[in-house]
Amino acid sequence: MEGAHTIGIAHCSSFADRLYSYPSACNGTGTELPLDASYATNLRQQKYRMGDSAAVQIDPGSFLTSGLDYYHTVLKHRALFRSDVALVTDGAAQADIGGVVSSPPEVFFQVFAWSMARLGAVQVKTGSQGEIRKHCAVVNS
């Protein structure tokens, strides 16, 4: 289970394609990507567009704190990112989330710590294979 999206903002370019293709957005298999219709309408009314530099709270109302609120949002089909859609379309992931959401908050933080440790070990690049970027979206010059 990933939890990094429980905090922060998203720039429109990272989700607007889902927003403006609703309800016919597909994940390549013909399966509709779930996005709550009223949530999508609300974001469209605010005129978020591809390439727009405007930002949206990933977890509206609690974007400055990490916690379970994000998962309640995801379970309501209000995940901005395609990567988070898997949390509700994959049965095992959805069961994991359901278990964490119904547990005491400290369970979330234990699972989050474990998840971040695992994520940090994925394809670690060392030496001249990679770089620590000054700005995450731009390769250092």
Based on C-alpha coordinates, what's the Rg of the chain?
16
**40-90 confidence digits (pLDDT tens):** 888 887 776 655 667 888 887 776 677 788 888 888 888 888 778 777 888
Pick from 5-9, 25-29, 64-68, 72-76 the range whose average pLDDT is largest.
72-76
The domain ranges of the chain are 4-129
pLDDT for residue 67: 74
Q: What percent of the chain has pLDDT over 90?
A: 0
Assess whether the previous peptide bond of 23 is cis (omega < 30° from 0): yes
Beta bridge mates, 57: 9
Distance between CA atoms of residues 14 and 81, nearest Å: 7
Burial of 140 (0-12, 13-18, 19+ CB in 10 A): exposed
pLDDT for residue 51: 58
Mean predicted lDDT score pLDDT of the chain? 76
pLDDT for residue 77: 86
For residues 116-121, give the mean pLDDT: 81
pLDDT for residue 15: 79
Q: What percent of the chain has pLDDT over 70?
A: 80
Residue 33 pLDDT level (bands cut at 50, 70, 90): low
Give every CB contact of residue 75 below 8 A, 6+ residues apart in sequence. 88, 94, 97, 98, 101
pLDDT for residue 96: 85
Give every CB contact of residue 4 below 8 A, 6+ residues apart in sequence. 116, 119
CATH number of 4-129: 1.10.420.10
